[in-house]
């Protein structure tokens, strides 16, 4: 299996994702330049965190037009696995690969800390190594992580079980106090209708080894590796 990590001008978590993909799974990984039209036969595409194109206009608004994103869109449409982490989630929403938008945090401040996530759906290529209701300890680092969508879209996400992660307490309770950014319905991550595209604000790439304070993020990468082997 081969992971492809996109590099945009301003990306700062591309090497984190590259390292995590290799160390957590033992699989191959390569870097993909934003101006390229070649996904280099990768099985999973990672749209990493950072500040693509300086977050000018708004987060992800320019990155969505990068040549590589045209190929990512085709890849996703054919069933290929795509994960967007933090800024990557914002880019996937701007590109129309996921519904909704990421707005300024409710407190209008940058938030950087470990949070707890409850796994709402373990039946995805990104969470098959997790148990339903399992709580993962994963860090966040964002200014625009406040997920929002209209009521109709929220009802669709709920009905189709496409809310993959919610911010929770350590024992799995969904509370307002556990929500670090004001996200609608405590949403921390969602997937596409085909379940092959995932966007999440927390950083599994920053907690793939216990040395980093948690190794829970490795489960996300291992899930993708197992899904790739299965197909």
- Distance (Å, whole) CA 68 – CA 63: 9
Compute the average pLDDT of residues 158-165: 98
**pLDDT above 60 for 105:** yes
Alpha-carbon span 133 to 172, nearest angstrom: 7
Taking the CA atoms of residue 220, residue 223, residue 229 and residue 231 in that order, the dihedral angle to the nearest 10 degrees is: -100
Percent of the chain with pLDDT over 70: 98
- Which strands sit side by side in the sheet containing 197-200, from one edge to the other? 28-33, 2-7, 44-47, 81-85, 197-200, 187-191, 163-168, 111-119, 135-142
What is the model's pLDDT at position 57? Answer: 86
User: Residue 229: what pLDDT?
Assistant: 59
The CB density around residue 108, as the number of other CB atoms within 10 Å, is 9
Is the pLDDT confidence value at 228 over 80? no
Would you state the pLDDT for residue 181? Answer: 98
Check which CATH number belongs to the domain holding 121 and give it: 3.40.50.880
The answer to whether the beta carbons of residues 15 and 52 sit under 8 Å apart is no
Cα–Cα distance, 176 to 166 (Å, whole number): 11
Buried b (16+ CB within 10 A) or exposed e, 203-229: bbbbbbeeeeebebbbbbbbbbbebbe
**Mean pLDDT on 39-68:** 95
Mean pLDDT of 137-152: 98
In the predicted structure, residue 172 carries a pLDDT above the cut 90: yes
pLDDT tens-place string over residues 179-194: 999 999 999 999 999 9
* Residue 127 predicted with pLDDT over 80: yes
Q: What is the pLDDT of residue 230?
A: 54
Q: In the prediction, which pLDDT does 191 show? A: 98
- Tell me the sheet residues that pair with 114: 139
Helix (H, G, I), strand (E, B) or coil at 49: coil
List of residues 6+ apart from 157 with CB closer than 8 A: 99, 149, 163, 187, 190
When divided into structural domains, the chain yields a total of 1
Structural domain that includes position 18: 2-230
- pTM for the whole structure: 0.96
């Amino acid at each position: 299996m081969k992971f492809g990590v996109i590099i945009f001008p301003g990306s700062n978590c591309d090497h984190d994702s590259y390292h995590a993909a290799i160390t957590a799974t033992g699989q191959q990984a390569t870097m993909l330049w934003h101006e390229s039209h070649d996904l280099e036969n990768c099985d999973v595409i990672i749209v990493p965190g950072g500040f693509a194109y300086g977050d000018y206009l708004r987060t992800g608004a320019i990155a969505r037009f990068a040549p590589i994103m045209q190929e990512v869109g085709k890849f996703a449409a054919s069933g290929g696995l795509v994960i967007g982490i933090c800024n990557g989630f914002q880019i996937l929403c701007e590109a129309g690969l996921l519904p909704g938008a990421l707005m300024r945090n409710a407190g209008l401040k940058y938030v950087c800390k470990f949070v707890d996530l409850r796994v709402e759906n373990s039946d995805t290529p990104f969470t098959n190594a997790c148990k339903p209701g399992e709580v993962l300890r994963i860090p966040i680092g964002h200014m625009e992580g406040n997920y929002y969508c209209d009521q109709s879209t929220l009802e669709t996400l709920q009905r189709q079980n496409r809310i993959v992660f919610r911010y929770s307490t350590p024992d799995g309770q969904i509370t307002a106090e556990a929500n670090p950014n004001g996200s609608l319905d405590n949403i921390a991550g969602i997937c596409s209708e085909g379940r092959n595209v995932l966007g999440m604000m927390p950083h599994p790439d920053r907690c793939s080894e216990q040395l980093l304070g948690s190794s829970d993020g490795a489960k996300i990468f291992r899930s993708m590796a197992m899904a790739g082997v299965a197909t």
